[in-house]
Structure 1
Amino acid sequence: MPTKTLFEPPQNPMLPVTGQDAQFPIRRIFCVGRNYAAHAAEMGNEVDREAPWYFNKSAHAYCASGTQIPMPPETENCHFEMEFVVALDGEAANVNVEHAMDAVFGYCCGIDLTRRDLQAQAKEKRRPWDIGKDFENAAILGRVSPRSEFGEIGDQTIWLDHNGVRVQEAPLSDMVWSVPEIIAHLSRFYRLMPGDLIMTGTPAGVGPVGPGSHLKGQVEGLSEVEVSFSG
């Protein structure tokens, strides 16, 4: 007999895939902190060069590219952060760097929204960042491109425009921790599974959005990601 539930369980959010009818179901979203030295510096921080570190977003923080959304609640300082996102379709548990990419399906563009004021309050009180990072529409994600179509990760440019003005731009090679290094390290703490996403950090130039703001970003070789905020 089918299991009875008290209410209809939510379905996994789905990402569209370039050139395919099948979609990519989102399981978990891992995020790498301070993975570009210039961004760490602009926030008054230093890069931890001993090991990468992480925070999480719920799969239900997903927002489809091209959407208009309301301003996030309970914040006076919501920031954009443009990111290169890795999509996994294989398992990885305590893998080494040489085999880490075996779990990768492809890549997409993402914008990490951060309630910076709430994050700062949490930091000051030495509390978790969840309320500043994990909320509705906080992970705007574009169409996934298979790894074979994107090619090797190198000097591809990552950029973001805010209201038509270029505010973030850097090569992916500026990442402190490479994608294989991130996957290998993260797989020591979690059994990575199909559907997991890894947002790999943001370059310098982050800033606040307001009512009427429009964001558009891209990693060279991937579909753009964009979002607008209702007035």
Structure 2
Amino acid sequence: MIARFSVFFVNAVYDIERREVLHEIQGHSNDVNSVGFVDPLDPNVLVSGSDDHLIKIWDRRSLGAACIPSGVLIGHTEGITYVSPKGDGRHILSNGKDQAMKLWDIRRMASGSKKDYSETIDYCPPWDYRWMKYPLKSPLKHPKDCSVKTFVGHSVLKTLIRCHFSPCSNYTYTGSADGIIHIYSLQGNEKHRINTNSVKFGRSRHARDSRGLVRDVSWHPNAPYLICGQWLEDGGRLLKYDPAFE
């Protein structure tokens, strides 16, 4: 018997086996940049992050015709670049263009009713993260922030930079536009930095130090290694590190 799986993509849920759309969810007012399943063992609870500043939690069993989310995670003041569920059905990590990474507990989410949140507030002067610097000195505090912890120090610019939980879930980590891998404790303190710009690579075009952003990082689940993808002016490279910093 073939198991049936569903995939949540942008604003639709697909049944792979039947090749049909199960749900169409028009749930955000701007681009959806990241989606995921909150619990890998549960195909019903979904999360999406958008340029409308909001992270929304969806339950396929209670969507209804209006496609109202089960709840909304409020706290970012700029667009969401990535959402990363921990896999325990409760906690989610996110990166935002407000230069902040946030830890969430979905038990603290706001109601899915639009009267309980705003999608149209302007928090800073107009800017474009793809080629401009963040116009403020530090991330703004959202008046309805329901996140558990906020992590700052990295730079979310130029591309949709991603973030993750470490395999042991004791740390969070993220790439950064400054070319540094930032590793944080769950208490919010920066535990370690790995500067990819100081690594000499190869004998030719990458022989000298190169400055390039780190878009994504992956921590091996069993071995003490990190691998990252780095953007350079004339291409890209993969780098491996041993994060033995304790």
State the TM-score, normalized to the length of structure 2: 0.27
Which has the larger helix fraction?
Answer: 1
Larger Rg: 2
Which has the larger strand fraction?
Answer: 2
State the TM-score, normalized to the length of structure 1: 0.29
